[in-house]
Amino acid sequence: NAGVTQTPKFRVLKTGQSMTLLCAQDMNHEYMYWYRQDPGMGLRLIHYSVGEGTTAKGEVPDGYNVSRLKKQNFLLGLESAAPSQTSVYFCASSNHRDRPNEQFFGPGTRLTVL
């Protein structure tokens, strides 16, 4: 099993460009999450999904959109990138049947917006 994978691993964008980050998991997990990690701050939740076709806002959703068309994939989109979105992005998934739930993390995507 690959677990949680993320593509791409690195990306450099210019202000105003758009891009999509892909997260895929092969553990048949219902719950998926997108976080960003910035220096001096803890991981912050951007958006999450509790199942195929459903998404919800987290702590810092502005400037991002998400989609969960397939259970195994969770996409994070930046429509018009800004320098403030320079960060490391982590995807995670968990099994909704576990209470409390352990989250499994992807390797991260380092995004730089110039």
Distance separating alpha carbons of residues 82 and 113, to the nearest angstrom: 6
Q: Of 13, 23, 33, 74, which lies in the binding site for another protein, with binding defined by CB under 8 A?
A: 33
DSSP character string of 66-113: EE-SSTTEEEEEESS--GGG-EEEEEEEE-TTSSSPPPEE---EEEEE
Closest contact distance (angstroms) between CB of 107 and another protein is: 5
Q: Which structure tokens are listed for 81?
A: 């990138």
Closest contact distance (angstroms) between CB of 71 and another protein is: 15
Residue 103 near another protein by CB under 8 A: yes
Residue 86 near another protein by CB under 8 A: no
Residue 58 near another protein by CB under 8 A: yes
User: Residue 14 or residue 99: which is nearer to another protein going by CB?
Assistant: 99
Q: Are 44 and 60 in contact (CB under 8 A)?
A: yes
Residue 100 near another protein by CB under 8 A: yes
Q: Residue 75, Cα to own-chain centre: how many angstroms?
A: 7
Q: Residue 64, Cα to own-chain centre: how many angstroms?
A: 10
Closest contact distance (angstroms) between CB of 94 and another protein is: 7
Binding site for another protein (CB under 8 A): 31, 33, 40-45, 48, 50, 58, 88, 90, 94, 96, 99-105, 107-108, 110
